[in-house]
Amino acid sequence: MTTTPVAPLTDPATLLALTDMLDEATDVAGDRLSADARARIFAAVDTGTAEHWKAARSAVVAAPMTTLWQAVVAVGCPETAVPTRAQILLGLEHAIAEAYA
Protein backbone atom coordinates (compact mmCIF):
# COMPACT_ATOMS: atom_id res chain seq x y z
CA MET A 1 0.00 0.00 0.00
CA THR A 2 2.10 2.88 -1.28
CA THR A 3 0.90 6.29 -2.27
CA THR A 4 2.30 9.53 -3.53
CA PRO A 5 1.59 12.44 -1.18
CA VAL A 6 -0.84 15.01 -2.53
CA ALA A 7 -0.56 18.78 -2.44
CA PRO A 8 -1.42 20.21 0.99
CA LEU A 9 -5.03 21.04 1.63
CA THR A 10 -5.31 24.80 1.10
CA ASP A 11 -8.68 25.30 -0.58
CA PRO A 12 -10.77 27.36 1.89
CA ALA A 13 -14.08 25.74 0.90
CA THR A 14 -12.69 22.22 1.35
CA LEU A 15 -11.07 23.16 4.66
CA LEU A 16 -14.37 24.57 5.91
CA ALA A 17 -16.30 21.51 4.74
CA LEU A 18 -13.83 19.18 6.47
CA THR A 19 -13.96 21.22 9.68
CA ASP A 20 -17.77 21.16 9.62
CA MET A 21 -17.81 17.39 9.06
CA LEU A 22 -15.34 16.80 11.88
CA ASP A 23 -17.53 18.96 14.13
CA GLU A 24 -20.56 16.80 13.28
CA ALA A 25 -18.79 13.43 13.46
CA THR A 26 -19.28 11.40 16.63
CA ASP A 27 -17.40 8.64 18.37
CA VAL A 28 -18.75 5.31 19.59
CA ALA A 29 -20.44 6.99 22.58
CA GLY A 30 -22.02 9.67 20.40
CA ASP A 31 -19.62 12.33 21.70
CA ARG A 32 -17.68 14.80 19.60
CA LEU A 33 -14.46 13.36 18.17
CA SER A 34 -11.35 13.71 20.29
CA ALA A 35 -8.63 16.12 19.25
CA ASP A 36 -6.44 13.12 18.44
CA ALA A 37 -9.05 11.53 16.14
CA ARG A 38 -9.67 14.87 14.41
CA ALA A 39 -5.92 15.34 13.88
CA ARG A 40 -5.46 11.83 12.46
CA ILE A 41 -8.36 12.28 10.03
CA PHE A 42 -7.17 15.73 8.99
CA ALA A 43 -3.67 14.37 8.33
CA ALA A 44 -5.10 11.59 6.15
CA VAL A 45 -7.10 14.10 4.12
CA ASP A 46 -4.26 16.61 3.97
CA THR A 47 -1.41 14.31 2.93
CA GLY A 48 -2.97 11.33 1.20
CA THR A 49 -0.22 9.03 2.49
CA ALA A 50 -0.64 5.38 3.45
CA GLU A 51 0.94 6.12 6.84
CA HIS A 52 -1.66 8.74 7.73
CA TRP A 53 -4.48 6.63 6.31
CA LYS A 54 -3.47 3.68 8.50
CA ALA A 55 -3.50 5.97 11.54
CA ALA A 56 -6.92 7.42 10.73
CA ARG A 57 -8.92 4.55 9.26
CA SER A 58 -9.97 3.02 12.60
CA ALA A 59 -11.41 6.27 13.96
CA VAL A 60 -15.13 5.99 14.65
CA VAL A 61 -16.77 8.87 12.77
CA ALA A 62 -20.45 8.12 13.27
CA ALA A 63 -22.18 6.50 16.23
CA PRO A 64 -22.75 3.78 17.01
CA MET A 65 -19.70 2.26 15.30
CA THR A 66 -18.92 3.45 11.76
CA THR A 67 -15.18 3.76 11.22
CA LEU A 68 -13.59 6.02 8.65
CA TRP A 69 -12.55 2.89 6.73
CA GLN A 70 -16.15 1.63 6.63
CA ALA A 71 -17.31 5.07 5.53
CA VAL A 72 -14.99 5.22 2.52
CA VAL A 73 -15.68 1.62 1.50
CA ALA A 74 -19.42 2.41 1.62
CA VAL A 75 -18.92 5.08 -1.06
CA GLY A 76 -16.99 2.83 -3.41
CA CYS A 77 -13.33 2.90 -2.37
CA PRO A 78 -11.73 -0.56 -2.70
CA GLU A 79 -11.17 -2.15 0.71
CA THR A 80 -7.37 -2.36 0.42
CA ALA A 81 -6.78 0.99 -1.28
CA VAL A 82 -5.58 4.21 0.25
CA PRO A 83 -8.51 6.50 -0.50
CA THR A 84 -8.19 9.82 -2.23
CA ARG A 85 -9.00 13.08 -0.50
CA ALA A 86 -12.32 13.17 -2.32
CA GLN A 87 -13.19 9.61 -1.23
CA ILE A 88 -12.45 10.39 2.42
CA LEU A 89 -14.55 13.55 2.31
CA LEU A 90 -17.40 11.75 0.55
CA GLY A 91 -17.23 8.87 3.02
CA LEU A 92 -17.34 11.24 5.99
CA GLU A 93 -20.25 13.14 4.51
CA HIS A 94 -22.17 9.91 3.83
CA ALA A 95 -21.51 8.39 7.28
CA ILE A 96 -22.59 11.55 9.07
CA ALA A 97 -25.74 11.89 6.96
CA GLU A 98 -26.64 8.26 7.66
CA ALA A 99 -26.09 8.74 11.40
CA TYR A 100 -28.47 11.70 11.46
CA ALA A 101 -31.07 10.12 9.15
Give the pairing type, strands 60-62 and 66-67: antiparallel
Alpha-carbon dihedral 3, 8, 13, 19, rounded to 10 degrees = 80
User: Where do the domains of the chain lie?
Assistant: 12-100
Nearest to 93 by CA among 41, 31, 34: 41
Q: How are the residues of the chain apportioned to helix, strand and coil, as percentages rounded to the nearest 5? A: 55, 5, 40
The rounded mean pLDDT for the chain is 91
**Does residue 86 carry a pLDDT above 80?**
yes
Q: Cα-atom radius of gyration of the chain, to the nearest Å?
A: 12
pLDDT in tens, 36-77: 999 999 999 999 899 999 999 999 999 889 999 999 999 999
Percent residues over pLDDT 70 in the chain: 92
* Whole-model pTM over 0.75: yes
pLDDT (mean) for 82-99: 95
